[in-house]
Amino acid sequence: MQTSNKTAKEIYLDVKNNPARKRFGFGKKAVLVNVDPQKAYTAVGKFATAYETDPNQIDYMNQLAIECRRLGWPVVWTYVAYMDSGEDAGIWGTRTDTPDSLQNIKFNSERSEFDDRVQIDEKRDVVYCKKMPSAFFETQLQSLLTWHQADTVIITGGSTSGCIRATAVDSLSRGYRTIVPEECVADKHESYHYANLTDMALKYADVLDVSEVLDWLKQQQ
């Protein structure tokens, strides 16, 4: 095992700035998957589980959504919410039982609501409630991608080390070119955030500046 005195951010920047770094590249048609931009994770100062990395994250997500809609490509939003019993969280909901615990994000609670800044087109966009980290797990996302003959998945939201990484791994495992716009994902601590950006960039996805992703979308017809 290699050792280093560098921070997780410094290691990530080394990977990002390596001119020899290989890419999977964009395909021909993308689906935008916005993972859990809900108040439990975005209302910093109100909920202990919330976090912010780039203050413009949700604005960038909305910009990506506008471009995908222009192209007639699917825009997906996911959120997590659970029954009063919490049993649908399974073993994932058994470590703690506090007001901040995962299984206590109840249906119709403020923690389950999308962030007020999120711009969802209720007639065109797809909304899935998911129970586990990956946006693919027991949702209709795979069927949606198949129907639209998409070959590329753009992933935004949070957290980088949890649901973003899980969704990216599942996306690659299903054969999709996977794109993670750096400014569009967030985590509780920069160490987890940058360590997982590094891991995804090396193995599972192209981690790109959001400006490059937006430029690619704007070039599509």
Q: How far is CA 11 from the centre of its chain?
A: 22
pLDDT reported for residue 20: 92
- 7, two tokens: 């921070």
- Catalytically annotated residues: 163
pLDDT tens column, 6-50: 999 999 999 999 999 999 999 999 999 999 999 999 999 999 999
Q: Which residue has the tokens 């360590």?
A: 195
pLDDT tens column, 122-178: 999 999 999 999 999 999 999 999 999 999 999 999 999 999 999 999 999 999 999
Alpha helices in the chain (DSSP H): 8-16, 39-42, 57-70, 141-147, 165-173, 190-199, 210-219
Task: Name all domains of the chain by residue range, CATH numbers in brackets.
Answer: 26-79+116-219 (3.40.50.850)
State the pLDDT confidence band at 220, using cuts at 50, 70 and 90: very high
pLDDT tens column, 103-121: 999 999 999 999 999 999 9
Q: What angle do CA 131, 195, 187 make, to 5 degrees?
A: 45
Q: How many CB atoms lie within 10 A of CB 108?
A: 7
Q: What percent of the chain has pLDDT over 70?
A: 100
- 67, two tokens: 């471009």
